[in-house]
């Protein structure tokens, strides 16, 4: 059993016309259990704070998760209740988020990642509600030690995209050696 606390802050610095709220998140008293070496269960409560229409707003938050790792695969489920940002309508929501992810290594060079999510919430002024699904699937292939090919497909409530590209990794600029897998 582990006991932990944490603080995070979501900050974006853009033109004020397009600025969404900055969210401060304080989690206290998080508990993590490892009933088996490959299974982890955690939950924590806390407080979210944001500034909305000139006044400070706060709300209780809760997060719980379950993850399992076995050999070259891992799966996780996460539930979160509290503040979040909705990108499309640029609103701060108070609501629920549920996400699931799967990662599978087929070899030292080929990885598959699948993520999905469900978000439901109401804007802080209660004038609007939002509910949407997301999904993402990605295959990564290490072509060389510094070059990776990537194919990705994304879905957000009735809109989908597919992209492909290469990522190049450069050596550390400060001269220190990094450990590799």
Cα–chain center distance at 6: 16
Q: What is the pLDDT of residues 17-45, one digit of tens each?
A: 555 567 888 888 788 999 999 999 999 99
Any idea what DSSP says for residue 13? Answer: -
Where do the domains of the chain lie, and which CATH numbers do they carry? 2-168 (2.40.160)
Q: How far apart are CA 72 and CA 74, in angstroms?
A: 7
Collapse the DSSP code of 16 into the 3-class scheme (helix H, G, I; strand E, B; otherwise coil) and give the result: helix
The winner for highest mean pLDDT among 10-14, 24-28, 102-106, 121-125 is 102-106
Q: How far apart are CA 94 and CA 123, in angstroms?
A: 6
Q: How far apart are CA 149 and CA 143, in angstroms?
A: 7
**Banded model confidence at residue 181, pLDDT cuts 50, 70, 90:** very low
Q: What is the pLDDT of residues 143-166, one digit of tens each?
A: 988 899 999 999 988 788 888 888
- pTM surpassing 0.85? no
Average pLDDT score, the chain? 84
């Amino acid at each position: 059993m582990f006991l932990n606390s944490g603080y995070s802050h979501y900050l974006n610095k853009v033109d004020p016309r397009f600025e969404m709220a900055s969210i401060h998140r304080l989690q206290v008293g998080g508990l993590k259990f490892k009933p088996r070496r490959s299974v982890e269960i955690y939950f924590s409560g806390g407080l979210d704070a944001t500034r909305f229409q000139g006044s400070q707003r706060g709300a209780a938050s809760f997060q719980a998760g379950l993850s399992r790792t076995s050999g070259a695969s891992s799966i996780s489920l996460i539930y979160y209740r509290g503040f979040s940002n909705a990108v499309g309508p640029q609103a701060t929501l108070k609501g629920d988020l549920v996400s699931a992810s799967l990662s599978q290594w087929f070899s030292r060079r080929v990885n598959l990642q699948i993520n999905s999510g469900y978000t439901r919430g109401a804007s802080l002024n209660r004038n609007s509600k939002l509910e949407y699904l997301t999904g993402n699937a990605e295959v990564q292939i290490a072509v060389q030690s510094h070059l990776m090919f990537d194919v990705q497909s994304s879905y957000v409530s009735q809109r989908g995209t597919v992209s492909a590209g290469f990522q190049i990794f450069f050596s550390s600029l400060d001269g220190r050696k990094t450990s590799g897998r």
